[in-house]
Structure 1
Amino acid sequence: MSALRRHWPRIALTLLPVLLALLHATGVWRLGVIQHLDHLIYDARLRATMPGTPDTRVVIVDVDDASLAREGQWPWPRDKIASLTTELLARQHAAVLGFDVMFLEPDRSSGLGRLREIAAGPLRDVPGLAAEIDQLAPTLDHDATLAQALRGQPVALGYYFTRTEQPSAKGLLPATPALPPDAFPAHAAFVTLWNGFGASLPVLARAAPVAGFLNTLVGDDGDDDGVIRSVPLIARYEGEHASPGHYESLALAVYRIANGSPPVRTVLVAGDGNFPRLQALVLGSLRIPVDQTASMQVPFRGPGGPRAGSFRYVAAADVLEGRLAPGELKGKIVLLGATAPGLQDLRATPVGAAFPGVEVHANIVSGLLDQRLLAVPDYAPGYEVLTVLAAGLLLAFGLSLLSASRAVLLGAGVVAALVGLNTWLYIGHNLVLPLASALVMVALAFALNMSWGYFVESRARRGLVRLFGTYVPPQLVDEMLVRPGRYSMRAESKEMTVMFCDMRGFTRLSEQMTPAELQAFLNTVFSQLTEVISANRGTVDKYMGDCVMAFWGAPMDAPDHAALAVQAALDMANVVQDINALHRANGRPEISVGIGLNSGLMSVGDMGSTARRSYTVVGDAVNLASRLEGLSGHYGVEIVASGATREAAPGFAWQELDSVRVKGKAQAVAVYTPLTPEAAAAAQQDGMLARWGQVLAAYRQQDWALGRNLLAPLLAGDAKKVLYQLYAQRLASMALRPQDPDWDGSTRFDTK
């Protein structure tokens, strides 16, 4: 909780992007840049997951530049369209023919209208002229010719809807809408709403009663970039020039004809308040997920155009000229459209900036046939809110409490999880769900959090480094940053453990080295010893010639300061053994260390003069540790620790050395040496420690004979052990003296 309180400003700053993303996700404040980024993510993912294989079931008859050059400019005479229709349906046996072209105006290419004007005008007195023209009319009425070619055939004409303040209408809509006006509950706006249209001539509309609208762009989300990503399948017409109701798109009309014209049904689910929500359209066994405008995501197969290979393109001129073998398009779904740039039927899509409009319809038909349908679920806003909230809270607390490197890993992990989950739902379940708001939130949260860490918290770090960087290990400085305010150079009294480590044999070694070699050697040794101290969370106080002083328990509190110091002392002894192995190989004298440890109340802080100060410890307990370091050579051990350190570090095996009175101390102090795990195990196995305790007890009771008898097996087992030799000499010497009634078994040392 203390860490949370300290980091609360940083956490609150990180939550700002979360709040911004939530406002966008809930629709309170829609941000166009995030919406645009979602579109870009959708487009990239769509391109990466397209099948990329041709669909041979759908063929596009293309009014391309070559066809215009060979057959004349557009629009072609309706009798030519009639010939094209007859060729496709009668000779090629296409299953369905959909027209992505419109027939809004009467065909005047035959001149029939002009002939009638002349017969009724300047030549009205010519006998039989009007009758002759009437007799020729069937052959000159190209609209009637096309109507005859369409009648009774599996065709779907195209038209478009408009919405204006003064609605207009051209042509004739299908007599029967795909869905009646009451298909949805009253006042429920599930689809796009229109009040005008431009449709085929009545003579054509009556001959081919099935038709579909061609409208594709639906952009009322505040970020309409003109790119076709979804297409409405159903649109509502409310006007005076046709039956009000819900009409179908060209692609849906073509698909229905190809599959036996199943009726269109709607799937409504509970929504906000009393209004249901549109979830899907159902055609027989096919369920088409749609959004609230009855639009479906266009399932693009691949890049568009004749050379892309997603669909077969056949030049309209080739069809008219009979260059296709009879029945070559048998059973195919054929769409008649234009790719000639001058006809302005090229659209911007996620897979191409100049995508043929007719191929948009072809992709929809193909997707319906394959049931390869993407869905924008009605719970998409809830998903967006949930992911933003979960990721935002994790980042707000995680980024604020973790180190910079771990914060980077956390940020990368959150991004990977968001992208992975979203991609899995897209690929595995065809669900299109928002991702941009969560990614933008992560980026902003990370940037703000790192900025706070650099500009605010790094200032505190630099202050701590200035104060403690030369004494304290870097990992302790990192821990101190958790609560930087509690650390200062101000002196305070604390229970701590202090160490003095002196190098033995240094004088003899220095005689064999040049000053430069000696300097390099000392730097190497002190660096290795310092690494051991730092690894055990110690603080280096100072270097004094061939001696290093360190302490545990400040500036960071360490309840186990004694245990850390003892372990450091054992590790330092091992380091010296490694150094000696190199010296033996190089023919140089070996060195040893003497280490003194004591635990107790000490004063620690910034001490010294106005000219020079340092962060150090002082006190009687510090002086005792310095004296104990000097006793290590006397007892033939590397480490001498006080009884206070032994009591504070019970996890080690100890061998008692003596009870001593050092210079400046009137009270006797028990001293010990810690054993390595291997030495402790061996001592326990042969009972050495127990026998040694008996030797000390006999010594302190002035039972010299018993002491010698108890010591004899220890000397026999380790005759070179300085400690055993020392006590053998003492016992022999004491046996020559009378017993002292004031004897307490302690040894006085009057020198340092």
Structure 2
Amino acid sequence: MGLLARHWTRIAVTLLPLLLALLHATGTVPLTALERLDLALYDARLRATMPKTMDQRIVIVDLDEKSLAEVGRWPWSRNRLAELTDELFDRQQVAMLGFDVVFAEPDDSSGLSRLRQLSQGELKDQVGFTDRLNQLAPSLDYDGLFAKALKNRPVVLGYYLTSDRDGRTSGVLPAPVLRREQFQGRPVRLFSWTGYGANIETLAKAAPLAGYFNPVSDLDGVVRAVPLLAEYNDQFYEPLSLAMFRVLAGGPSVEPGLPKEKLAGRSYQGLESVNLRLGQKTLGLPIDARGATLIPYRGYGGPNGGSFRYVSASDVVHKRLQPGELKGKIVLVGTSAPGLQDQRSTPVGESYPGVEAHANLVAGMLDGNLPASPDYAAGYDAVMLLVAGLLLAFLLPLISAPRAIALSAGVLATLIGLNLWLYVGSGLVMPLAASITMTFTAFALNMSYGYFIESRSKRELANLFGTYVPPELVDEMVKDPDSYSMKAANKELTVMFCDMRGFTKMSERMEPVQLQGLLNEVFNRLTDIIRRNRGTIDKYMGDCVMAFWGAPVETAEHAHLATKTALEMANEVRHINEEHRAKGLPEIGVGIGLNTGMMCVGDMGSDIRRSYTVIGDSVNLGSRLEGLSKAYGVDIVVSESTRKLAPDFAWQELDRVRVKGKEQAVAIYWPLAPADRVERTHQDELKAWGAFLKAYRSQDWDQCDVLLLNLQRMNPKKYLYELYSERVASMRLLPFDPAWDGATNFETK
């Protein structure tokens, strides 16, 4: 309490940004700058996490520049649209069709109405004219032809709602999905419009399902959301995307997700969700306080954006697609042509086709992936601000500058990490701008009011460890110098030995200076990889490099980082060899051994020369494993202890071995790749290999031959299978040995 009393002024100064941030979070004093920053942070989260992959379920039939040039300017005659619709359903067999287009006026382009006027006027006495016109009328009624093509098919038409036309209306609205009385007297506030532009009656009757295509523009003019419910004349309607999804889901009814009265009270004006009910099943679609859902953009938009397949509408009309090429697809008809003015400014592009926004929403509904800012977002923001702000206010004045930096960085990382976790894991978009700004401002004010002096221990630590470890780790260590020393200690670490093969032969054919330059280039590139992955370079021994992870800066994922480094180094050697082949230089090989275990780490050596290094049996085993890589025809050999601590990689067990100096056999493995990048064929190969090892250790040589034959068919170039074929052939000559543990003995280092 005495410390707090002495620093009350600094505490009060630090509380100022907290107060301002709370006024903004509660809506008392909204700050436009923070609102814009929150939008920018959301956009950054979206771009960083969007899959950027093609959704094969949805196809966009594009009224593009090519279509306008070949078929004619928009709007097209309805007989053309009838041909397009028939082609999509009859020849292409699509699952459903949605139009991001409104047909608000009748199509008189055939001249039928004028011909009827003539038949009742100046040509009414013309013999046969009226009869012939009646015969031709069905083929000239383009609206009728289009309506016939739409009828009894899974089609959803589009329309728009408006409040800027003095309440004017045109066309026929679809049936509403909700009525005011379904809100049980709650004063629900959603987007409301006073007018609309819908489809003509002929088409609306043929295709009664329709959805509006109104997006929501934020204060910066960017489209990030679409309202899932919109009000017109005390009735509520659905967007195009939701109407299409309901068709795909079997036609569930729409119900309001009302919050419980005990929690929100009857005066609460928001909904928790928009619920879709089909029988006993209910699906809740998340919405924000406005009743809107955020668009889960998959990637950058347009025909070349890579998120959805775009097919030119002229190719459909002219039957250039193979029959059934779009079979089972969800099709949206829209435009990417700039002249038709359906471009939107979005977080992933300033000229984004509006039709693709609907495609993203349909895909998000199908995947159950609709991010939303819940109604309790403001409360979450206030709680985060209070916890973080009070923590900073009462601790920053009491601790040293380096620890103040660490505390502020920790608070910031926690706020950002929790925010990202909620976004990625649960699809919740929570405010972040006020928390980040408050943290930065509180730290800056506190440091400006106090002092910031480099401590002697920080300088000494940098001078001492700068000789042994990468500068990146030194920068991290000096933030808390009291936690590090050069004294020897036993720690669980992961050690790597990497031997460059082929340099002995090169030395016989190359000049010393040329060999030196080649070796230095290879070491530079491999060392960069070790440093990027937080490794400590122990030493260089001729054409071998030794490194370890977990000291002096402790990290729980030292085995993962070492394995990742080994894979990247092996891949880098392949790139080096490609460059050497192009230059006519000799190729090199690499052998890497990894082991995890207890090691003694510290500053060791003589008074003349010392180094920060590791020693122990675990280090020796790592060296032995590097030597085994050549025997098994692989570039990396990893011990069982390392594999257990790095489960997020795909592994192939090589053998159980008993190396020189070790009586106990150890299992050794070869890392193939990160587990999420392993192809199906490799997974099948690993299953077959596991079955082989089981048969091998059971001394079932006949089964081994069968499994090896299958493995060699899967991967005929893998030396490992050739090695075991020779082993099985020699082992077959020996009698069954019940005491054999399946291990291979290696007597050389």
TM score, norm. by length of structure 2:
0.58
- Structure 2: 5+ residue runs without aligned partners? 454-606, 608-749
Is it true that 1:251 corresponds to 2:250 in the alignment? no
Aligned partner of 2:100 in structure 1 is 100
Q: Which amino acid aligns with 1:282?
A: N
Aligned partner of 2:183 in structure 1 is 184
| 1:576-635, Cα deviation, whole Å (9 max, x unpaired) | xxxxxx9xxxxxxxxxxxxxxxxxxxxxxxxxxxxxxxxxxxxxxxxxxxxxxxxxxxxx
Aligned partner of 2:143 in structure 1 is 143
**Aligned with 1:383 (options 377, 380, 395):** 380
Aligned partner of 2:330 in structure 1 is 333
Aligned partner of 1:202 in structure 2 is 201
Correspondence 1:667-686 to 2 at 5 A: none
Three-state SS of the structure 2 residue aligned to 1:278 is coil
**Aligned with 2:222 (options 220, 227, 239):** 227
Is it true that 1:450 corresponds to 2:440 in the alignment? no
Give the distance between the partners of 1:177 and 1:356, measured in 2 at CA: 27
Q: Which amino acid aligns with 1:418?
A: L
Three-state SS of the structure 2 residue aligned to 1:446 is helix
**Aligned with 1:395 (options 373, 388, 392):** 392
Three-state SS of the structure 2 residue aligned to 1:236 is strand
Q: Which amino acid aligns with 1:45?
A: R
Q: Which amino acid aligns with 1:91?
A: R
Correspondence 1:290-301 to 2 at 5 A: 290-301=287-298
**Aligned with 1:274 (options 253, 258, 266):** 266
**Aligned with 2:412 (options 399, 410, 415):** 415
Deviation (angstroms), 1:426: 1.3
Deviation (angstroms), 1:334: 0.5
Three-state SS of the structure 2 residue aligned to 1:426 is helix
Deviation (angstroms), 1:338: 0.4
Does the 8 Å CA contact 2:186/2:266 hold for their aligned counterparts? no
Aligned partner of 1:113 in structure 2 is 113
Q: Which amino acid aligns with 2:17?
A: P
Does the 8 Å CA contact 1:14/1:395 hold for their aligned counterparts? yes
Does the 8 Å CA contact 1:64/1:340 hold for their aligned counterparts? yes
Does the 8 Å CA contact 2:53/2:306 hold for their aligned counterparts? yes
Does the 8 Å CA contact 1:230/1:296 hold for their aligned counterparts? yes
Does the 8 Å CA contact 2:188/2:271 hold for their aligned counterparts? no
| Percent of aligned positions that are identical | 53
Does the 8 Å CA contact 2:53/2:299 hold for their aligned counterparts? yes
Does the 8 Å CA contact 2:99/2:157 hold for their aligned counterparts? yes
Three-state SS of the structure 2 residue aligned to 1:331 is coil
Deviation (angstroms), 1:333: 0.7
Deviation (angstroms), 1:100: 0.4
Q: Which amino acid aligns with 1:212?
A: G
Give the distance between the partners of 1:321 and 1:397, measured in 2 at CA: 73
Give the distance between the partners of 1:188 and 1:314, measured in 2 at CA: 45
Aligned partner of 1:574 in structure 2 is none
Give the distance between the partners of 1:272 and 1:252, measured in 2 at CA: 27
Does the 8 Å CA contact 1:60/1:312 hold for their aligned counterparts? yes
Does the 8 Å CA contact 1:236/1:247 hold for their aligned counterparts? yes
| 1:241-268, Cα deviation, whole Å (9 max, x unpaired) | xxx5211110011111112111112221
Count of residues in Structure 1 that have an aligned counterpart in Structure 2: 448
Give the distance between the partners of 2:336 and 2:164, measured in 1 at CA: 29
Give the distance between the partners of 1:324 and 1:397, measured in 2 at CA: 69
Give the distance between the partners of 1:134 and 1:449, measured in 2 at CA: 88
| 1:63-100, Cα deviation, whole Å (9 max, x unpaired) | 11111111111111110001000110111111110000
Give the distance between the partners of 1:47 and 1:214, measured in 2 at CA: 23
Give the distance between the partners of 1:322 and 1:210, measured in 2 at CA: 27
Does the 8 Å CA contact 2:37/2:433 hold for their aligned counterparts? yes
Three-state SS of the structure 2 residue aligned to 1:282 is strand
Does the 8 Å CA contact 2:301/2:352 hold for their aligned counterparts? yes
Deviation (angstroms), 1:121: 5.2
Q: Which amino acid aligns with 1:21?
A: A
Give the distance between the partners of 2:212 and 2:337, measured in 1 at CA: 21
Does the 8 Å CA contact 1:286/1:371 hold for their aligned counterparts? no
Give the distance between the partners of 1:169 and 1:178, measured in 2 at CA: 19
Aligned partner of 1:86 in structure 2 is 86
| 1:729-752, Cα deviation, whole Å (9 max, x unpaired) | xxxxxxxxxxxxxxxxxxxxxxxx
Aligned partner of 2:33 in structure 1 is 33
Give the distance between the partners of 2:25 and 2:10, measured in 1 at CA: 24
TM score, norm. by length of structure 1:
0.57
Deviation (angstroms), 1:150: 0.7
Deviation (angstroms), 1:432: 1.0
Give the distance between the partners of 2:122 and 2:449, measured in 1 at CA: 92
Correspondence 1:351-362 to 2 at 5 A: 351-362=348-359
Give the distance between the partners of 2:130 and 2:66, measured in 1 at CA: 40
Is it true that 1:431 corresponds to 2:428 in the alignment? yes
Deviation (angstroms), 1:418: 0.8
| 1:450-507, Cα deviation, whole Å (9 max, x unpaired) | 22225xx99xxxxxxxxxxxxxxxxxxxxxxxxxxxxxxxxxxxxxxxxxxxxxxxxx
**Aligned with 2:231 (options 224, 236, 253):** 236
Give the distance between the partners of 1:119 and 1:452, measured in 2 at CA: 93
Aligned partner of 1:213 in structure 2 is 212
Does the 8 Å CA contact 1:59/1:314 hold for their aligned counterparts? yes
Give the distance between the partners of 1:27 and 1:183, measured in 2 at CA: 30
Three-state SS of the structure 2 residue aligned to 1:260 is coil
Q: CA RMSD in A?
A: 2.1
Q: Which amino acid aligns with 1:452?
A: Y
